[in-house]
């Protein structure tokens, strides 16, 4: 019996996009999957429609935005225009569209059993810390969501707060699919002295990584902090390296490939992610690194971010600082003891399987099965 067909559309390099790859790996088991996105084909697909790198999904025409000609502004995005032409006339049983910008293209293709919209962020408030962006681009995103995303047949997103926000403003109820990491068959390492803290991820100024660097630099040498950072902002990365060079217990490393991340992190004791709520999506973030730290069997130290705090407190896997300031983070780091951290690591080990990405993929499977009837 021939397999059903599925399109997975994402304006991202799919072979390197952890969330989209989970979709590809699961659904290639049961579907003939065609992917459409940047970069090379991911493994297992029957076809990959590669969007040229010079075709962008965010090259909005400012004049059209000023005139509020939102329909034309959307369909003239170069990646949208290119992918629509490349996929014209194709029919699929199911389409999964990743993020708001991809959904209208999938909706226009009219797949036989509908579109699953996986919304990685709350796009209308993506950069609401920028007043000009919020004034001009938020209304455009509101139009795209209201006009097209509401026409999908099912929806998923990354945190409970974002689920609630889409329902409040647009009327659809998305299911929760967290950015959980794949299950790692691992065990917590014993906690010694120094207690070893770690942060891995993107080097972005609005994450204010210097706060945790400076907080750690004020500690005695019985606590250390290691960063593994991608060079998203080279100037800011240099600033962090300068802080580290003046400290005996802070080190900045190059990033490691994702396939090696769990093993690298497992050598540490506490994963740190103090994410200031500088915009709406940071405020409601439930990032993959929280789950990376759990799979590495680490304790976790965070700021009072509502979505992360729920997991840390309910599962007793770490500590929450009083606020996002350097002094507060320093106090939380200074209060660490081998006994506390050992308990947190044991709790991460206890909950690693239930928090693994495989459980989250089951939500997509259930949504697709309901569309298939």
Asked whether the predicted pLDDT for residue 276 surpasses 70, the reply is yes
Output the CA angle 160-161-166, nearest 5 degrees. 100
Predicted TM-score (pTM) of the model is: 0.87
Distance CA 296, CA 317 (A): 12
What pLDDT is recorded for position 343?
A: 98
47 beta partners: 34
- Domain match, 59 and 173 both: yes
Residues 279-296, mean pLDDT to the nearest whole number: 94
Contact status, residue 97 vs residue 114, Cβ threshold 8 Å: no
**310 belongs to a structural domain:** yes
Query: Based on the domain organization, do 125 and 202 belong to the same domain?
Result: no
Q: How many Cα atoms within 13 Å fall on the side-chain side of residue 338?
A: 7
Tokens of 286: 């439930």
What token pair was written down for 190? Answer: 């014993």
27 and 138 inside one domain: yes
Please state, in angstroms and rounded to a whole number, the distance separating the CA atoms of residues 61 and 80: 13
Domain membership of residue 239 (yes or no) is: yes
* DSSP state string for 160-197: HHHHHHHHHHHS--PEE---PPPP----PPPP-SSEEE
Are 298 and 265 in contact by the 8 Å Cβ rule? The answer is yes
d(CA 176, CA 101): 20
Domain assignment present for 368: yes
When divided into structural domains, the chain yields a total of 2
* Residue 31: pLDDT over 80: yes
Q: What are phi and psi of 48, to 5 degrees?
A: -130, 125
162 and 260 part of one domain: no
362 plus 340 within the same structural domain: no
133 & 38 share domain = yes
Within a domain: 202: yes
SS3 47: strand
Distance from C-alpha of 70 to C-alpha of 140, rounded to nearest angstrom: 6
In a domain, 59, yes or no: yes
Contact at 8 Å (CB) between 299 and 345? Answer: yes
Residue 294 · residue 347 · CB < 8 Å: no
Query: Does a structural domain hold residue 144?
Result: yes
CATH number at residue 17: 3.40.50.2000
Q: Tell me if 212 is assigned to some domain.
A: yes
Q: Using alpha carbons, select from 6, 20, 103, 86 the residue that is nearest to residue 50.
A: 86
* Beta strand spans in the chain (E): 4-13, 31-38, 47-50, 94-98, 115-119, 154-157, 175-176, 195-202, 223-230, 250-253, 270-273, 299-302, 318-320
Instruction: Give the mean pLDDT of the chain.
Output: 96
pLDDT at 2 over 80: no
- Comparing 47-51, 172-176, 282-286, 294-298, the range with the smallest average pLDDT is 282-286
How many other C-beta atoms lie within 10 A of the C-beta of residue 331? 13
Percent of the chain with pLDDT over 70: 100
Same domain for 204 and 78: no
Q: Are residues 313 and 368 in the same domain?
A: no
β-pairing, 318-320 vs 299-302, is parallel
Distance CA 330, CA 322 (A): 11
- The owner of tokens 């499977």 is 365
Instruction: Give SS3 for 227.
Output: strand
Show the tokens assigned to 17: 């996009």
Regarding whether 173 and 291 lie in a shared domain, the answer is: no
Q: Which of 262, 313, 263, 306 is nearest to 285 (CA)?
A: 306
Helix (H, G, I), strand (E, B) or coil at 115: strand
Same domain, 367 and 225: no
Average pLDDT over residues 300-320: 97
pLDDT tens profile 215-274: 999 999 999 999 999 999 999 999 999 999 999 999 999 999 888 999 999 999 999 999
Q: Is the pLDDT of residue 183 over 70?
A: yes
The domain containing residue 290 runs over which residues? 195-351
pLDDT score for 1:
62
CA-to-CA distance for 275 and 111, rounded, in angstroms?
39
Q: What was the pLDDT predicted at 109?
A: 98
* Pair 361, 222 in one domain: no
Residue 231 to residue 19: CA distance in whole angstroms: 21
With respect to residue 190, please indicate whether it lies within any of the assigned structural domains.
no
Same domain, residue pair 42 and 166: yes
Cα 371–chain centre separation: 25
Is the confidence at residue 166, as pLDDT, over 80? yes
């Amino acid at each position: 019996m021939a397999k059903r067909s599925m399109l997975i559309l994402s304006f991202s390099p799919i072979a390197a996009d952890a969330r989209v790859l989970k979709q590809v790996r699961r659904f290639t088991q049961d579907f003939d999957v065609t992917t459409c996105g940047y970069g090379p084909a991911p493994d297992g697909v029957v076809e990959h429609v590669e969007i040229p790198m010079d075709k962008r999904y965010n090259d909005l025409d400012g004049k059209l935005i000023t005139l509020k000609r939102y329909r034309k502004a959307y369909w003239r995005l170069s990646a949208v225009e290119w992918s629509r032409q490349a996929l014209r006339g194709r029919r699929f049983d199911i389409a999964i569209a990743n993020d708001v910008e991809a959904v209208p293209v999938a909706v226009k293709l009219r797949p036989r059993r509908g579109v699953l919209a996986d919304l990685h962020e709350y796009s209308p408030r993506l950069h609401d810390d920028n007043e000009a962006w919020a004034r001009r681009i938020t209304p455009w995103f509101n139009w795209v969501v209201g006009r097209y995303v509401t026409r999908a047949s099912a929806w998923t997103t990354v945190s409970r707060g974002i689920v609630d926000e889409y329902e409040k403003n647009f009327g659809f109820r998305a299911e929760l699919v967290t950015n959980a990491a794949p299950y790692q068959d691992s065990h917590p390492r014993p906690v010694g002295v120094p207690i070893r803290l770690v942060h891995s991820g993107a080097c972005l100024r609005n994450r204010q990584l210097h706060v945790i660097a400076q907080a750690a630099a004020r500690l005695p040498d019985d606590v250390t902090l290691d960063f593994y950072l991608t060079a998203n902002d080279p100037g800011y990365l240099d600033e962090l390296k300068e802080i580290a060079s003046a400290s005996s217990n802070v080190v900045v490393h190059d990033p490691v490939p994702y396939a090696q991340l769990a093993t690298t992190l497992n050598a540490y004791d506490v994963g740190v992610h103090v994410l200031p709520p500088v915009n709406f999506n940071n405020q409601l973030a439930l990032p993959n690194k929280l789950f990376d730290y759990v799979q590495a069997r680490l304790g976790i130290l965070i700021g009072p971010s509502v979505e992360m705090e729920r997991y840390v407190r309910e599962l007793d896997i770490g500590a929450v600082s009083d606020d996002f300031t350097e002094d507060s983070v320093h106090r939380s780091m200074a209060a660490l003891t081998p006994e506390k951290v050992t308990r947190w690591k044991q709790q991460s080990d206890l909950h690693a399987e239930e928090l693994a990405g495989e459980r989250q993929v089951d939500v997509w499977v259930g949504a697709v099965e309901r569309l298939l009837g």
